Structure 1
Amino acid sequence: MIRDAFTAVVNPAAGSGTAAATMISLARALRESGARVRVTYSRSLPHATELAAAAAGRGDTVLAAGGDGLAGAVAAGLTGTTAELGLVPAGRGNDLARAVPLPRDDPATFAAALRERPSRPIDVAMAGDRVVLGSVCAGLDSVANDAANRWRLPRRPIAYQIAAVLVLARWHPVTYDLRVDGVPERVRGNTVVAANCAWYGGALKIAPAALLDDGLLELVTIGEMSRRRLVPVLTAMRRGAHVGMPGITSRPIREVTIATDRPIPFYADGEKLPAGPVTVRVRPAALHLIGA
């Protein structure tokens, strides 16, 4: 299969403004290979969803050029259709792209992959009405994400990990009331993550068992423990080696409702959700992703 028509939805603010330049180089390579390319720029995440839906209606392959939040917004315009999505990672985290091994170092090679590589149906998570490609989190990680978005930290993946260390100094565990596949349970701990993708937080492998196409989510909980014990857990996440450490659980689920005993931010794909509680459920085989 050779794809001939593309619409790129670009977040012009992503990557400290570098997303547009990244997409311009790729668009040039696609055109030189014989494809038609329309480049559009989003004003907001809802606008990105609108642009994606319009492109799908024209029969175009849709490219999301930005970070994980933009990818989720573009996916929202394509979910449940036959339109195909291609990821052009140009944000700070780019965690979903780590699960999609396309050659991206050279624009011409990347363009060839986008035109020729097959797509595959993948699952999405639904956080209420929000389409989520990566994960939903509530805890130390979501507070760190909130801080990374507010503070003047490097526009690189390490920013999330810097924020986590800074937040940790004043952090106190949370009591979670969960309903997991209809069964209530209470957990006291540091975070709850419902993951569709293995990575989050700028290359932390939070859910090593998570697969994009298994019809399931992976529920990861990090229980109550001292700050001294949390530091090696954060380090082990880089390799996904935290799973199995004392106080940490990981299991496949289809749906979870998360409520907390105090107000904390809930985040999905690096973007803030409305205040909790939030119900997260899997929607199997809902999106066609190139290279998955």
Structure 2
Amino acid sequence: MGVHAALAVHPDSGRGAAARIAGTVADRLRAAVDRLDLLVATSVAESQALMARSHEDGLDVLVVLGGDGAAHQGVQFCAGSGTALALVPSGTGNDLARALGVDRDPLRAVDEVVAALADGRRRRIDLGRLGDTWFSTVLCAGFDAAVNERANRMRWPAGPRRYDLAILGELAAFRPRHLVVDTGARREEFEATLVAIGNTAWYGGGVPICPEARPDDGVFDVTVVGRASRRELLRMLPSLRTGRHVRYPGVHTMRAVSVELSGSEWPVYADGEALGQLPITARSVPGALTVVG
């Protein structure tokens, strides 16, 4: 039996970049599969309906052409199922693609997918689980979630620079709050600025907030930034892009399979998507997702 694949296209990803290359990506994929469904969606509900229809027809591989928001929807569909996920990044952040070692150029990335499909290369990675929602990269609360919220409202600039400007915009208003981190084996209380639970290292378009996190080791890496003044945060910002922030005295790290966060009503984001507010409990689910490559 041949490979039945679907290409999920989110036209607005990368300020229209996905729509501009969708035809070329589809043509290259058709050379490697027996059937290719083209799923073009402008809303989450529409995307879910199209994916479900392909799944009923025996879908083997879902190829997502888009950014982290599109990848997040693909993860919800493929997690715990027999459908493998492949990524062709064309968004502004592309943090899951970065963690999986996918080429940042979408046309080179689709060629990698084609080669992997021809060779039958697939692997399993871990996911985080929050209630009924899966996340593949980083769950965050506090200052970084507020930055994410602000960045999502911004229309300019594109890419990581948007996140940097959102950080500066949040500095004036944000204050540290009480945070409780409970891993079952360890319970810590902080006056904290932010907390990040990493299934992978990166968020915010390439910020390695949990620099040692790996998507196939069965555990989360947790980073907590304690009480920090605006001046201290500004001093720390350059180190965020290198992962050296974990060397600061006020930064705490730990590893855990399950993490409960409470203490303040901070907003919560995961994979760049709003997922309510604290308190929450997230758990790592080993091997929950099959990826191509």
Residue 272 of structure 1 corresponds to which residue in structure 2?
274
One-letter amino acid of the structure 2 residue matched with residue 41 of structure 1: V
Per-residue deviation, residues 200-256 of structure 1 (Å, max 9, x unmatched):
011111111111111111111011122222123221111111112211122211111
Tell me how far 1:180 sits from its aligned partner. Answer: 1.7
Residue 240 of structure 2 corresponds to which residue in structure 1?
237
Paired with 2:84 and 2:156, the residues of 1 have a C-alpha distance of: 34
Matched, 1:16 2:15: yes
Deviates more, 1:219-228 or 1:45-54: 45-54
Q: Are the counterparts in 2 of residues 26 and 110 from structure 1 also a CA contact under 8 Å? A: no
Tell me how far 1:163 sits from its aligned partner. Answer: 0.2
Residue 70 of structure 1 corresponds to which residue in structure 2?
70
Q: Are the counterparts in 1 of residues 116 and 122 from structure 2 also a CA contact under 8 Å? A: no
How many residues were matched structurally? 289
Tell me how far 1:199 sits from its aligned partner. Answer: 0.6
Inter-CA distance 38–199: structure 2 relative to 1 (3 Å threshold)? same
Deviates more, 1:211-220 or 1:105-114: 105-114
Inter-CA distance 113–32: structure 2 relative to 1 (3 Å threshold)? closer
Tell me how far 1:184 sits from its aligned partner. Answer: 3.5
Residue 36 of structure 1 corresponds to which residue in structure 2?
35
One-letter amino acid of the structure 2 residue matched with residue 24 of structure 1: G
Tell me how far 1:153 sits from its aligned partner. Answer: 2.5
Residue 26 of structure 2 corresponds to which residue in structure 1?
27
Paired with 2:115 and 2:100, the residues of 1 have a C-alpha distance of: 12
Q: Are the counterparts in 1 of residues 2 and 33 from structure 2 also a CA contact under 8 Å? A: no
Paired with 2:47 and 2:33, the residues of 1 have a C-alpha distance of: 26
Among the aligned pairs, what percent are the same residue? 34
Residue 91 of structure 2 corresponds to which residue in structure 1?
91
Per-residue deviation, residues 182-201 of structure 1 (Å, max 9, x unmatched):
64332111101111011101
SS at match of 2:246: coil
TM-score normalised by L of structure 2: 0.90
Deviates more, 1:275-284 or 1:128-137: 275-284
What is the correspondence of 1:33-182 to structure 2 with a 5 Å cutoff? 35-57=34-56, 58-103=58-103, 105=105, 106-107=107-108, 109-116=111-118, 118-181=121-184
SS at match of 1:152: coil
Tell me how far 1:283 sits from its aligned partner. Answer: 0.9
Paired with 2:140 and 2:291, the residues of 1 have a C-alpha distance of: 23
Per-residue deviation, residues 4-51 of structure 1 (Å, max 9, x unmatched):
432011222221222222332211122245653221023433543444
Tell me how far 1:82 sits from its aligned partner. Answer: 2.3
Tell me how far 1:113 sits from its aligned partner. Answer: 3.2
SS at match of 1:242: helix
Residue 203 of structure 2 corresponds to which residue in structure 1?
200
In structure 1, runs of 5+ residues without a counterpart are none
Inter-CA distance 31–90: structure 2 relative to 1 (3 Å threshold)? same
Tell me how far 1:176 sits from its aligned partner. Answer: 1.0
One-letter amino acid of the structure 2 residue matched with residue 285 of structure 1: G
One-letter amino acid of the structure 2 residue matched with residue 95 of structure 1: D
Paired with 1:13 and 1:114, the residues of 2 have a C-alpha distance of: 27
Per-residue deviation, residues 141-168 of structure 1 (Å, max 9, x unmatched):
1101101111333122221121011211
Superposition RMSD in Å: 2.2
Paired with 1:92 and 1:59, the residues of 2 have a C-alpha distance of: 28
One-letter amino acid of the structure 2 residue matched with residue 73 of structure 1: Q
Q: Are the counterparts in 2 of residues 3 and 115 from structure 1 also a CA contact under 8 Å? A: no
Residue 222 of structure 2 corresponds to which residue in structure 1?
219
